[in-house]
Structure 1
Amino acid sequence: MTLHLFICKNSDEGGLVNLRVVARHYCGNMMRKLVFNQRYFGEGKSDGGPGFEEEEYVEPIFTFLAHIYSFCISDYLSFLRGLDQDGHEKIVEMKKCQYPIIEDRIRQWIDGKKVEPQDLLDVLISLTDHNGAPLLSTNEIKAEISEIMVAAADNSSNVLEWTLVEMLNKPETLEKTINEINNVVGKDKLVQESDFPQVNYVKACAREAFRLHPIAPFNLPHVSETDTTMAGYFISKGIKGRKWCL
């Protein structure tokens, strides 16, 4: 059972859908499919929700993110590195989730069991220099994969959550997006990439969400200092960039 059916099942039965959990697991599952050619969502639970293996994979990612900017004494006293004075290394544990997969895949390439790339991990492993030697070491591949998984699961799920929250605060906006998707896509199939050129209002909502809730700070004076016209739109002096204007 897919994530889509999981949401529909809970909604139809009058149950609550935890948006944050769904967003995080969906984004994590999507990246796992691209990186490892695997998916876990819906496996092991009758309602199609995240199973034990899924939760065991996603939880360490967000635990890692919760500690990445926290105070750590070894950041200031480098000679203490390795001692784990703050206990963060015991808490943040991602190795058991993806390192065995990476190591097993590398062995498959060495043994000749894999010869064609099928996902991003295969691409990184198969990179070679002009002499045919591996371009990336095992540790470098592990670091690249960890970086991709952490960045993709966090930023994507945060933007998705903020977008739906803004729409819930503006029911008329949410209704317009639903009507556009129903008219373009229909109610009996999932959105396809070929539908994107026709869902202009949905794309406008996505861009507005990125403007209101960027994944990284930029343009710090987030207010118009003078009356101005940009891209054909008039912006009055003093208008802040925190207003949902669709």
Structure 2
Amino acid sequence: MENPASWTWTAYAAVWLSILALFLFSRNLRKKKLNLPPGPKPWPIIGNLNLIGSLPHQSLHQLSQKYGPLMHLQFGSFPIVVGSSVEMAKIFLKTMDVNFVSRPKTAAGKYTTYNYSNITWSPYGPYWRQARKMCIMELFSARRLDSYEYIRVEEMNSLFKELFKSAGKPILLKDYLSTVSLNVISRMVLGKRYLDESDNSIVSPEEFKKMLDELFLLNGVFNIGDSIPYIDFLDLQGYIKRMKVLSKKFDRFLEHVLDEHNAKRKATENYVSKDMVDVLLELADDPNLEVKLERHGVKAFTQDLLAGGTESSAVTVEWAISELLKKPEIFNKAREELDRVIGRKRWVQEEDIPSLPYIESIVKETMRLHPVAPMLVPRLSREDCKVGGYDIQKGTRVLVNVWTIGRDPTVWEKANEFCPERFIGKEIDVKGQDFELLPFGSGRRMCPGYSLGLKVIQASLANLLHGFKWKLADDMTPENLNMEEIFGLSTPRKYPLTAVVEPCLPLDLY
């Protein structure tokens, strides 16, 4: 006779297996009812990660040529939707912006930004809305940026002196550009050049630049644990270990910065804020804030300001000079405009830029072909919705491939050619309203410091073209100049540009 106990456990197991099977079957039925955008069939566990190479924006560009401007993929456990056209960018970043305004949670956001406490990675909600308001009203207001113009002028003059000293010798341009960007932003944010060799700083200049490079790389990598969470603890690529090490280095530096600023504020009665950290500390003391700004939040914002203000301008100007060295006729047109408008007896000022439409066009064309963030920063669908007749589920990660949009032949004639003339006489700008050109994004999550970035990029490029003759080093020809890129949160040249400069203005200007 069969043992009743064993029969009971068998029956229980059969019932539970039946329930599980019904659950999985019903879930599959629900999935089948969804009208998802077209895309490649995913593999078990990894989804479509096997289709993504070392340049993800280019991999997605190739896939979009097959599957269209709205594409669905699976990255491990998470659904991904990629928009690759002007129309899709407008839907995600404007029409339905409020539904796609949040951020996915990633290891980079957790470990390198004080658990999503900065402006870039914080999820949508009261904290982020307050941070955005701080940026618009305080940190990047026109009045405040104008008050810091003297800093940008002084640091630009330092750059010209350094280039003058190196005249006739091969230089790595990115090193000079990164230094001037870092000095500008550190004086605006921190109140001084914390990284001068003469300063007994807690971090050396070389170490700090390495920290910023690492921050950009780690915030842009495809960490496999972000896509397949149950193997995240294995840290198969070693990225999380690197993030933790980097976080400790930044925290040590930022603690030093805040301690120094607080000491000055306490030592002076009725202290007037002089830099952006002062402003943040003042806001942290404000009892009327909707969400209290904690010390770790001040550190997260400070790190965000330093990183964002340093990398984007240096990368863009290096790409611009690279493109001009490949096309000397464009270089000559730019010089002609500068000679006509500015003359040969002074440097270009920020107020001159609106009178230099060809220089502005070169900047726009560089940003079209070489956007610093080619897929912008990922967004997250907050609710189930429909886009273009297709179902987008809550929790879907959304990418807008501005690299593809910048090469769309239906939008741009000779889309792969560097041709600044395409912008002459056209009202297309980079301020987030023209969806064919979105180097800083658009909508609520647009880069809050774009106006500062634009000032530094335009003034730097104009003066580098105005004050120096440029040529490639080591007898390299324009045809042989390698234009490959590498991918992170920014997309710099794979091989830094080596060039030779010669001064071409009166020597007393240097």
Q: Does TM-score exceed 0.5, indicating one fold?
A: yes
Moved more, 34-43 or 98-107: 34-43
Residues 184 and 37 of structure 1: CA distance in aligned 2, closer, same or farther (over 3 Å): farther
- Looking at structure 1, the residues matched to 223 and 289 of structure 2 have their Cα atoms a distance apart, in angstroms, of 41
Residue 175 of structure 2 is matched in structure 1 by 21
| 1:72-99 per-position Cα deviation (integer Å, ceiling 9, x unaligned) | 5764359849xx8853122563234343
State the one-letter code of the partner of 2:419: C
Q: What displacement does 1:60 show?
A: 0.9
C-alpha displacement of 1:189: 3.1
Match of 2:504 in 1: none
Compute the displacement of 1:188 (Å): 4.1
> In the alignment, which residue of structure 2 is the partner of 1:121?
277
Structure 2 residue aligned with 1:244, among 399, 405, 418?
A: 418
Q: Deviations over 1:155-205 (max 9, x none)?
A: 221111111111111111112222322333344433212212221211111
Identity value in percent: 22
Equivalent in 214, 223, 233 of residue 408 of structure 2:
223
Supply the AA of the counterpart residue of 2:261: R
Matched AA of 2:312:
N
Distance (whole Å) between structure 1 residues aligned to residue 197 and residue 342 of structure 2: 27
Q: Report what 2:212 is aligned to.
A: 61
Q: CA RMSD in A?
A: 3.3
Q: 1:205 to 1:114 in 2, by over 3 A?
A: farther
Partner of 2:251: 95
Q: Return 177-186 or 140-149, whichever deviates more.
A: 177-186
Preserved CA contact (<8 Å) 2:224 2:232: no
8 A contact 2:218–2:239 mirrored in 1: no
Aligned runs of 1:47-196 on 2, under 5 Å?
A: 53-70=204-221, 75=226, 76-77=229-230, 80=233, 87-88=241-242, 89-90=244-245, 93-112=249-268, 115-127=271-283, 128-129=285-286, 131=288, 135-196=292-353
- Deviation string 1:135-168 (CA, Å, 9 cap, x unpaired) is 4211100000111212222222111111111111
Deviation at 1:8, TM superposition (A): 1.7
More strand by share: 2
Structure 2 unaligned residues grouped into runs of 5+: 1-156, 376-400, 421-510
Q: Which has the larger radius of gyration?
A: 2
SS in 2 for 1:141: helix
Alignment length, in residue pairs? 225
Q: Decide whether the 8 Å contact of 1:20 with 1:157 is kept in 2.
A: yes
Aligned counterparts of 1:53 and 1:125: Cα–Cα separation in 2: 25
Corresponding letter in the other structure for 2:409:
S
- Closer/same/farther in 2, CA of residues 166 and 131 from structure 1, 3 Å limit: closer
Q: Relative to structure 1, is the Cα distance of residues 40 and 143 closer, same or farther in structure 2, using a 3 angstrom cutoff?
A: closer
CA contact (8 A) 1:35 1:120 kept: yes
